[in-house]
Amino acid sequence: MLLRIAVQAKGRLFDETMTMLAESSIKVESGKRTLLVPAKNFPVEVLYLRDDDIPQAVASGIADVGIVGENEFEERQEDAEIVKRLDFSKCRLSLAIPKEIDYKGLEWFNGKKIATSYPGILKRFLDKNGIKAEIHVITGSVEIAPGIGLADSIFDIVSSGSTLVSNNLKEVEVVMKSEAILIGNKNLSAEKREILNELLFRFDSYKNAEGKKYIVLNIPNDKIAAASELLPGMKAPTITKLETDGWSSLASVIEEKYFWEIIGKLKNLGAEGILVMPIEKMIY
């Protein structure tokens, strides 16, 4: 029995999806990519699809679960369930207009032509806000539509915003935020749910360790309390007395994004011999 997991064959989710699988010790041959590839050491097979096709594949049971952008799932309105938000490939779906236009509010879009690959989400948004605009569906390079006179504005994915800038557009309304999600078929067998739970456990262990480092340092005993406050770790830091009188060794977990700030404060407390090491997995 294999759990079949649909992933994007190429595109914005691909790299991080493959990293997450690899870090969860799910090894799939990446050399010659066929459509369906069994994992080597875990009861999973990977089905490579276009992201647009993943929601339907999961809803219909062609795949058991799938990793897809929330935007794509929202657009397709297929009957599958969101199992887990995966916290990567974050972006937003926004309305954008030529940058020189003086924008005063949503009413601007009345009577305008909007180019998009997400007509469903856009229509629901316009209807909800009582805006009557013409939706023009195109599947790629939506951002060039206003420049070539195909539309007045666009509704598309914005991530860094650089695509908008290079096409002389500006974001004026954020309609939804999106990230990668794991969706699942609603009628998975007990056996498949069990494999899915193990998969989720592995994803969590990887995600928990992401952005975290293991830190060990020496600290004068009278500064242990102050240092512990800076380094809460998983529960509390581990403290070991050193042979050198009046000194202890302290070990904990540190978030990479606060790293330089915390290191500075620790040095001010008199910390010495600071070692920082990568953490591969973290199980609470």
With contact defined as beta carbons under 8 Å apart, do 168 and 148 qualify? Answer: no
Q: Count interface residues toward ligand PRP (CB under 6 A).
A: 13
Shortest Å distance, C-beta 238 to ligand PRP? 42
What gap in Å lies between CA 119 and CA 93, rounded to an integer? 12
- Strand ordering across the sheet containing 3-8: 36-38, 44-49, 3-8, 65-69, 180-184, 81-85
161 binds, among Zn ion, ligand PRP, none (CB under 5 to 8 A by kind): ligand PRP
For β-strands 153-158 and 113-116, DSSP reports them as parallel
Residue with Cβ nearer ligand PRP (156 or 173): 156
Report the amino acid identity of residue 202. R
Residue with Cβ nearer Zn ion (52 or 204): 52
Residues 115-154 that bind ligand PRP (CB under 6 A): 140, 142-143
**Residue in 160, 187, 225, 243 binding ligand PRP, rule: CB under 6 A:** 160
With contact defined as beta carbons under 8 Å apart, do 172 and 106 qualify? Answer: no
Residue with Cβ nearer ligand PRP (19 or 240): 19
Report the amino acid identity of residue 110. N
What gap in Å lies between CA 254 and CA 273, rounded to an integer? 16
- Report the DSSP beta bridge partners of residue 174: 94
With contact defined as beta carbons under 8 Å apart, do 98 and 143 qualify? Answer: no
Provide the CB-side half-sphere exposure for 41 (13 A, CA). Answer: 7
Q: Which residue is nearest to Zn ion (CB)?
A: 51
Shortest Å distance, C-beta 164 to ligand PRP? 6
Residue with Cβ nearer Zn ion (13 or 131): 13
Contact flags string 26-65 toward Zn ion, x per CB under 5 A: -------------------------xx-------------
Shortest Å distance, C-beta 71 to ligand PRP? 9
- Where does this chain bind Zn ion (CB under 5 A)? 51-52
Contact residues: ligand PRP, CB under 6 A: 11-12, 140, 142-143, 156-163
